Structure formats: C-alpha cells, structure tokens
Amino acid sequence: MVDNNLLFQYLLRLGDDQQILSQRLSEWCGHAPTLEEDLALANIALDLLGQARSLYTYAGEVEGAGRDEDQLAFLRYENEYTNALIVERPNGDFAHTITRQLFYSVYMDLHWNALLSSKDETVRAIAAKAVKEVDYHVRHAAEWVIRLGQGTEESHQRMVEALEEFAIYTGELFEMDDLAQQMFKAGVGVDLTLLRPEWEQQIAAVLGEAGLRMPEVNWMQTGGRSGEHTEHLGHLLCELQYMQRAYPGMTW
Amino acid sequence: MSEKFTPLWEVFIRARNGLAHKHAGSIHAADAEMALQAARDVYTRRGEGQSLWVVRSDQIVASDPSDKDMMFEPTASKIYRHPTFYEIPEEVGNM
Amino acid sequence: MYSQGLIGADGSTVETEEFLEAFQKRVDAEQKIEPNDPMPEGYRRTLVRQISQHAHSEIVGMLPEGNWITRAPTLRRKAALLAKVQDEGGHGLYLYSAAETLGVSREELTDQLLTGAAKYSSIFNYPALTWADIGAIGWLVDGAAIMNQIALCRCSYGPYSRAMIRICKEESFHQRQGYEILLTLCRGTDAQKKMAQEAVNRIWWPALMMFGPHDSASTHSDQSMHWKIKRFSNDNLRDKFVNATVPQAEYLGLTVPDPNLKWNEEKQGYDYSDIDWDEFWRVVKGDGICNRDRIKARQKAHREGAWVREAALAFAEKRAGAADAARTAAE
C-alpha cells in the first residue's frame, strides 16, 4: 500500500516541475524570434500546463482534503514548491530557453517513459499522454540546438554560454532523495539514477551534431526538491499568485 | 532593410487517411525540417491533421492566368466525356 | 482581431476603362480574384494595406492580453488565455501569408510595422489594467472583430477570404471565453463586479471605434465596397454590434458608459452618443497611452530574435552547401 501523503508530495513535485516551466515558457508569448516560434513555444507551454493540471488534480484527490488544482497550484508558500531549480531559472535569451528545453525535455521524456510502468494507474495514464507531447518537445529543442550550435559564430557562442549556465542544474534532476526512494520502492516512481546514462548519451549526441559539448561541472546545484530555491522563484510566484493572493477566496 | 528573407513554404494537410492532402496555408522557415515543425505548430493545433507536406513556394510551377482560355476552355465542349451525354432508356436501370 | 475600417488606403488606379470594367464584372459576378489574376493596381494596393493592417493588429493585439497570461487567476483561465493569444499570433501569420500572395514579403511588412509606417487597430493602444479587462477584451473587442471578420469571409480576394474563414472558425471561442470571465465576475463579490464594470467603461468606446470613421468621413470606403474588399459600411457594422451587445451587457447586470443610449422603436435599434473622434484620431496618430510601448515591445522582440533568424538561415545554407558538395563528389 502506498502512503497517501508520500504520493501526494510526489505528485506535487511532478506537477510543480511542469507548472513552473510552463509559466516560464508562457512569458515568451508575443516576444519570440519569429511568429512561427511564438506558436511553437506556446504549444509546449500548453502541453506542460495540461500535464500540471492532471497532476495537481490527482494530487488533490489523493490528499483528500478538498483542495483543487488551483489551490495547489497557486496557494502554497515558496518553500512548499518542490520543482527542480532548472525550471525556475529566468528564460534568458532564446539559446538559454532552448538549452533548458533540451536538458529538461530529454529528462522528462525518459522519466515519463519509465512511468508508463508505474503501479499507479492514474500516473500511468498521465504518462501515456505526456510521452507523446514530450517526444515532440525533444525534437523541437534538438533541431534548434543543432541550428544554433552550427549557425553563426554568435549563435554558437550564445549556446556555449547557455550550456554553461544550465549544466549545473541538471544533476538535481536525477537525485534520489527520501521521497523519490520511497516512491520507487512502492513501484509508483522511477529510479532516476538509471535514466542518467541514457540522458547523457542523448544530450551528447545532439550537442555533438551541433558542434557543442557539455561543459565540465564541478558542483551540481541542488535544493529545489526540499523547497530551497534560487532567488528567482519568489518573483515568479509573485506574478503567478497575484490574483489569488490579492483577492482571496473568490471564484474566477 | 537589411534583414535576409526566410523562405516561404506551402503547407498541405491530410485531415485523415483516405483523403488527399489539401492546401492549408503557408509559413516561413529556413529549412525543410523547421518548415515541417512550423507547419505542425501553426496549422494542426486543433486536430486538423494526420499527415503534413511542406513545399517551398518558389518550387511550385503554376499556370499563368492569362493562359486560362487556352489551357482550360477547350475542354468545355467535350461533353461526350461525361456520362450524361449518353442516353440510356430508363428501363435499362442504373448504369 | 480586426483592424478598424481601413485608414488611409489609396484605391486610385490608372488602368484602362476596358480593363477596369472587365475586372468589375468579375467582382460583381462574385468570382473570387486569385493571386496571379490581373487586377487593378489600386485594388492590389488597397488589399495589401488592409490585410497587413489586419495582420499587424493581430500581432500587436497579443501584447495587452499577453500581459495577463502569467497572472491569470486559475489554471483553466491561463490555458484558455494562452491558447487565445497564441491564436492571435497564428491569425497574424495567416494574414501576412495572404498579403504575401500580393507580392510583398513578411520582412517588408514587419519593417513597416516596426518603423511606424503601417497602422494597426488603435484598440491595442489601450491598456489591459485588471483581469476584468481580459473578459471585456474578449467580449467586446473580439465581438467587434468577429462582426467585421464574418463580413470579410466574403471578400472578393480569394486568399484573404480563405484566411478569414479559418480565422472566424478558430476565433469562435474567443468572445465566449471573454463573456464567461465577466459572467463569473458579475456573479461574484462586489469587488469583482466593480472590476467588471470598470473594465467595460474603459473598453466600450474604444471597441466602438474599431469599426472606423463614420461612413461620411471614410474617404476610400466607396471604392473598397465597389471592389467587394469591404462588404458592409463602418456605421452599419457598428450599429449591428451595439444592437447585439447591449442586451448581453444587461444580462451581466452591467451598464455601458453612454447616458444617451436608448432603444429606438422605429429603427428597431439603439441610438447612442457620437464617438469622441478627437480621441480616435489622437490615438491613431500615435498618442494613445500604449502606442510607444507596443511598438517598442515589437521592436525588441524583433531585434533580440535577429541572431536566431540569422543562425537558422546560415545553417540552412551550410547544409545545402554540404549536400551540393556531396552530390558533386558522388558524380
């Protein structure tokens, strides 16, 4: 039997990752390098938002305290969000956004694929839908990374800087803290460490084709899973939560 | 204006198997792969498609509208190409 | 969303009487004009201007609503708003494509927007200050747009008409989502209802302005109607909009900010005050509260995206070069 409180925490964590990245990507809306890309980024943001909603809704059911997707999405304190640090980092330029998309989408693609054999039926169903969406996110990011890496001197340099910035946040994605361990043991979650070699291989393949390589990382940053964030999450939440905080308890 | 032109592509969508691809519109993209992605992201957001074609607009060879009479008028008088040209007694039934 | 009744289009043309008559005959017979067909230069110029103004309006129109995506109060509303603003980007794209069939490039059209040479609907030079504005924009601005756009589905120019049909189909949810937002506010607390009323007060008049100047002051309207680029007059559509919208406001329990609004039994329509045309022209000419911000935001996106577009083109060239080299080597 799975401990409901642990499952609840686990679903929130998965939901937070998708929601926060969706929020970041939606900031691009109306400001992307081309109109076509504006639509592409919005599509990805909408996919992630849909995944977050399914996860929060299920989390609310598991918790059994009557909280709905919005109460979970909007009405928690900063240290109660347990998303990975990588998704809360600011968008930066297009190279930064695309680099994060590559790192994160490849990770999530492997993660969702592994969750297809979760013992939890609802998680399996969410994963089955998400896998198809994230397959495309990987392709979208990889094609861009190749073009930016090989495009011009400037685009190459921007990619080098973006890789430098985000590489240090990739280690956290594969951490097996207590919650992750327990969920793995319960057959709901995934042994994330097992995903890492495949992730590294896929990233290296794309970067290789782009004429880029993964920078050396001395220290992987971590903290998001235990609610210790970078300074950027607070500002993101100010916007995200603005309406719910300014007008508490109302229906929208 | 110094901006280089990004090529234009025509987008064709097969709504479902059994139907032909139909022209849906156009997009701009630097190369074929990006064109396909852009076509997907722009023109299939409401379940419009099962299959996509993209073709560079400058690769399409079009007939000249001023040749319209020469190209398409002569066929108008060839009514013997249509089934209704032939008279079959009603008693024979459907043919 | 639609650009208001065309501003400053010059429909004058120099073709022979005979040519113009033949063209008019086709138009009168409701035959669609397609890209490579012979057409009067004035017709082409008017269309490029109208379609590109319309496209620019969609693109600039992403900004006031885009301003609220990250602050949407629920996940459901956020998804709807993001999809709606995305649609506007798509609609701008369809319209640029339609304009491109007339021999102008996306790059040229973008340049005209960024340098201020081209106009766009001045409704987007008004700010979206509260969440209720998102409701009011959907209901009133998209409502006015749909009024215009339905009429344009029958435009004589094939690519424009086809783009409009696709756009109308996609936009049918836009007005409904706006109205639903306001309906929720009006059934909510006093604070929410006040927010809704204030948004309607802000957006009502600018929405009526979207239909453009009075018919009597709309200089090139006649020619556009004659060529069936436009199918209904500005005032005609505006009246239709007011008649359709006032009962919807009543259902919400909101008032429209016009003390002279009154049902006229005889004409079976509403009488309403005249628009403040000084404000209209001031905003069109650049002195609305958001004009500069809007253009700056577009310039910034364009400038900061330049290296991305260059990189994509450079990569395509390299790859094409490599393919050529491989072919030569193989021969």
**Domains of chain A listed by start with CATH number:** 4-214+226-246 (1.20.1260.10)
Q: What is the pLDDT of residues B69-86, one digit of tens each?
A: 899 999 989 999 999 999
Q: What is the pLDDT of residues C42-66, one digit of tens each?
A: 999 999 999 999 999 999 999 999 9
* Percent of all residues in chain A with a pLDDT value above 90, rounded to a whole number: 99
pLDDT score for C323: 86
Determine the distance in angstroms separating the CA of A110 from the nearest CA of chain C, rounded to an integer.
Answer: 26
Bridge-partner residues for B28, per DSSP? B8
Q: Across residues B9-30, what is the average pLDDT?
A: 96
Q: What is the pLDDT of residues A135-151, one digit of tens each?
A: 999 999 999 999 999 99
Within an 8 Å CB–CB cutoff, is residue C97 touching chain B? yes
pLDDT(A161) > 90: yes
Contact A34 B45 (CB under 8 A): no
pLDDT score for C3: 46
Nearest CB partner across the interface for C73, out of A33, A52, A244:
A244
Residues 6+ apart with CB under 8 A from C98: C51, C157, C159, C160, C162, C163
d(CA A88, CA A231): 9
Q: What is the pLDDT of residues A165-209, one digit of tens each?
A: 999 999 999 999 999 999 999 999 999 999 999 999 999 999 999
pLDDT score for C103: 93
d(CA B21, CA B53): 8
Nearest CB partner across the interface for C94, out of B25, B29, B30:
B25
- Helical (H) or strand (E) element with B23: strand B22-28
Nearest CB partner across the interface for A239, out of C70, C90, C300:
C70
Q: What is the pLDDT of residues A93-149, one digit of tens each?
A: 999 999 999 999 999 999 999 999 999 999 999 999 999 999 999 999 999 999 999
User: Which stretch of A4-8, A36-40, A170-174, C319-323 has the lowest confidence by average pLDDT?
Assistant: C319-323
pLDDT-derived band at C325 (thresholds 50, 70, 90) equals confident
pLDDT(C1) > 60: no
User: Which stretch of C183-187, C227-231, C268-272, C307-311 has the lowest confidence by average pLDDT?
Assistant: C227-231
ipTM entry: 0.97
pLDDT-derived band at B6 (thresholds 50, 70, 90) equals very high
pLDDT score for A239: 98
* Beta strand pairing call for B51-56 and B22-28: unpaired
Nearest CA in chain B to A151: B30
pLDDT score for B13: 97
CATH code for the part of the protein at C2-286: 1.20.1260.10
| DSSP result, B46-68 | TS--SEEEEEEGGG-----GGGH
Within an 8 Å CB–CB cutoff, is residue C86 touching chain B? yes
Within an 8 Å CB–CB cutoff, is residue C251 touching chain B? no
Q: Which residue has the higher pLDDT, C179 or B4?
A: C179
pLDDT(A45) > 50: yes
pLDDT score for A5: 97
User: Which stretch of A60-64, B30-34, C149-153 has the lowest confidence by average pLDDT?
Assistant: C149-153
pLDDT-derived band at C5 (thresholds 50, 70, 90) equals low
User: Which stretch of A15-19, A80-84, C225-229 has the lowest confidence by average pLDDT?
Assistant: C225-229
Q: Across residues A214-237, what is the average pLDDT?
A: 97
pLDDT score for C327: 85
Within an 8 Å CB–CB cutoff, is residue C38 touching chain B? yes
Closest CA to C120 of C65, C60, C175: C60
Closest CA to C63 of C292, C285, C241: C292
| DSSP result, A82-126 | ---HHHHS---SHHHHHHHHHHHHHHHHHHHHHHTT-S-HHHHHH
pLDDT-derived band at C7 (thresholds 50, 70, 90) equals low
Determine the distance in angstroms separating the CA of A152 from the nearest CA of chain C, rounded to an integer.
Answer: 5
* Percent of all residues in chain A with a pLDDT value above 70, rounded to a whole number: 100
Contact A31 C82 (CB under 8 A): no
Nearest CA in chain C to A70: C74
How many H-runs (helices) and E-runs (strands) does chain B carry?
2, 3
Q: Does residue C105 sit in helix, strand or coil?
A: coil
Q: What are the angstrom distances between the C-alpha of C58 and each of C4, C53, C61, C96, C259?
A: 12, 9, 5, 10, 32
User: Which chains contact A through at least 3 pairs of Cβ atoms less than 8 Å apart?
Assistant: B, C
| DSSP result, chain A | ---HHHHHHHHHHHHHHHHHHHHHHHTTTT-SSSHHHHHHHHHHHHHHHHHHHHHHHHHHHHHTSS--HHHHHHSS-GGG----HHHHS---SHHHHHHHHHHHHHHHHHHHHHHTT-S-HHHHHHHHHHHHHHHHHHHHHHHHHHHHHHS-HHHHHHHHHHHHHHHTTSGGGG---HHHHHHHHTTSS--GGGGHHHHHHHHHHHHHHTT--PPP-S-----GGGT---THHHHHHHHHHHHHHHSTT---
CATH domain B8-89 topology? Ubiquitin-like (UB roll) (3.10.20)
pLDDT-derived band at C263 (thresholds 50, 70, 90) equals very high
Q: Across residues C229-235, what is the average pLDDT?
A: 89
pLDDT-derived band at C223 (thresholds 50, 70, 90) equals confident
pLDDT score for B80: 93
pLDDT score for C216: 86
pLDDT-derived band at C13 (thresholds 50, 70, 90) equals confident
Nearest CB partner across the interface for B30, out of C34, C105, C315:
C315
Q: What is the pLDDT of residues B30-67, one digit of tens each?
A: 999 999 999 999 999 998 899 999 999 999 999 888 88
pLDDT score for C315: 98
pLDDT(B4) > 50: yes
Contact A147 C74 (CB under 8 A): no
Residue ranges per structural domain of chain B: 8-89
Place of tokens 């390589």: A213
pLDDT score for C8: 57
pLDDT score for B67: 87
Taking contacts as CB-CB distances below 8 angstroms, the residues of chain A near C192 are 247, 250
